[in-house]
Structure 1
C-alpha cells in the first residue's frame, strides 16, 4: 500500500470522515465492479457496495496496516454478498432486459446495433445469456470463488484470505464451480462453448 493510503486509513481510524471519503473514491470502482459481477445487476450492486463501505467504516479500527486494504474490502464484499444470498435465497430478481410477459406470449426488449451482423449479434447475446444463467445457477460460494479467480484475477491464496477459507476448500470449490458451469453450458447446447479456452 502507498504511504498516502496508509495515511488515509490512519486518519479514518481516528474518525476523520473526509479521509474515509477519499478512500471510498479510490476503491469505489473496484468494489462496485466486484459487486456487479457477484449480483448480476446494477441496482443490487450499488446497494451492496454502499453496505460494504458502511461496514468497512464501522470495522476500520480493527484493520491492521500490514494487510492490503483492497483485499480487506473484497473480503467484506464477498462476506456481505454471501450473507445477503442466504437471507434472500427465495427472492426473485427481474432484470430490465428480461422479456415482458403478456397474455399472448413474451416480448423481448432489446436494441440492436444496425451496423452489426444481426445473426452474429443474436448468437452472441444468446451465449452471454447462457453463461449468465449458468453463473447464476451456481451456489453463492461457488460463484464468488469463480468470479474472484477468473474475472478479478486473484490467486488461490488470495481467495482463501478473502473468503476466510482453507486453500483446499478454495481449490475444491473452484473445481466444482468450473465443472458445474461447464455442465450447465453444455446442457444448453451453447454454440460457442469451449471456444477461447477452458471453462
Structure 2
C-alpha cells in the first residue's frame, strides 16, 4: 500500500481570486459553499491540490467510495485502508481529470480499479456482495428488508436460504459479469457510467448484465418458482 497522507484536513476558508481593476476587499468562501465543479478546479490549480477544497470533496464523496468497496469486498477487513488508498490516488491524479463534471464516475473507476488490483495481488476471489449483511447508509445501518414484515419461521428460513444462494450465485459469476451486475443492481449506476468505469462499450455492458441476470435466474429458478 502506498504511503498515506493525512485525510483529516481542516475545512478552512478558501480565498477567491479577485477581479476588476480596483482591488476589492478580500472575499472568502467556505469550501462547503462551493460547487463540486469549483472544488475540483481549485484542486487542479497550483502545484498541488488545495487541501481545504480536497478535504471538502472527500467529505462529500467518502460514503460513495465506502459503498463501492463494501459491495465489491464485504468480507475484506482492510476496506478502510483501500478507501484511503483511493483518495491518495485521487489526490495525485486529480489534475489529469479533463472533465470535472465527470468526477463521480472517475472516482468510481479509481475505486473499482483499486479493488481489482488488490484482488490480483491476493490471487484469490473475494465474495463481492453479502445480501443478508447490514448495508451502511448515510444515516447508519439497516438490514436487507424481506418481503414480509412479520415472516413466520418457515418463511424466514426460506428467505435466508434464498439470499445465501443468491450471494453464492453472484460470487460464482465471472469477474467481469460480477462487476457489472454489482454496479448496476446494487450501485444503481446507468449503463453509460458502467461503460466508462469498466472501459468497455455500451453494448458490451448491456450484454454482460443480460448474461449475468440470465445465469442468476437459471441458478435460482427453484427459489424463484417457490
Q: TM-score, normalization: structure 2?
A: 0.65
**Structure 2 counterparts to residues 143-158 of structure 1, below 5 A:** 143-158=178-193
For 1:170 and 1:182, how far apart are their aligned partners in 2?
18
Q: Is 1:59 the counterpart of 2:93 in the alignment? A: yes
Unaligned segments of structure 1, at least 5 residues: 94-114
Q: Does 1:36 align with 2:54?
A: no
Offset from partner CA, 1:34-83 (integer Å, 9 cap, x none) = 21111133635433322221211111110124442111111112222222
Q: What is the 5 A alignment of 1:180-199?
A: 180-186=215-221, 189-190=222-223, 193=224
**Cα distance, 1:179 vs structure 2:** 2.1
After the TM superposition, which of the residue ranges 63-72 and 157-166 deviates more from structure 2? 63-72
CA contact (8 A) 1:134 1:184 kept: yes
CA separation in 1, counterparts of 2:126 and 2:186?
A: 25
**Structure 2: gaps (5+ residues):** 1-32, 128-149
Displacement after TM superposition at 1:137 (Å): 1.2
Measured at CA, do residues 54 and 170 of structure 1 come closer, stay the same or move farther in structure 2, by a change above 3 Å? same
CA distance in 2, matches of 1:16, 1:165: 33
Does 1:176 find its partner at 2:211?
A: yes
Correspondence 1:10 to 2:45: no
Alpha-carbon offset, residue 146 of structure 1 = 0.6
1:27, distance to aligned residue in structure 2 (A): 0.6
For the residue of structure 2 that corresponds to 1:165, the secondary structure is coil
Call closer, same or farther: CA 1:175–1:120 in 2, change over 3 Å. Answer: same
More helix by share: 1
| Contact kept in structure 1, 2:37 and 2:101, CA below 8 Å | no
1:68 is paired with a residue whose SS is helix
CA contact (8 A) 1:82 1:141 kept: no
Task: Say whether the 8 Å CA contact 1:138–1:177 is kept in structure 2.
Answer: yes
3-state DSSP class of the match of 2:53? Answer: helix
Shift of 1:7: 2.1
Q: C-alpha separation between the residues in 1 aligned to 2:106 and 2:208?
A: 21
Q: Whose Rg is larger?
A: 2
- 1:113-152 matches, within 5 Å, as 117-152=152-187
7-16 or 24-33, larger mean C-alpha shift? 7-16
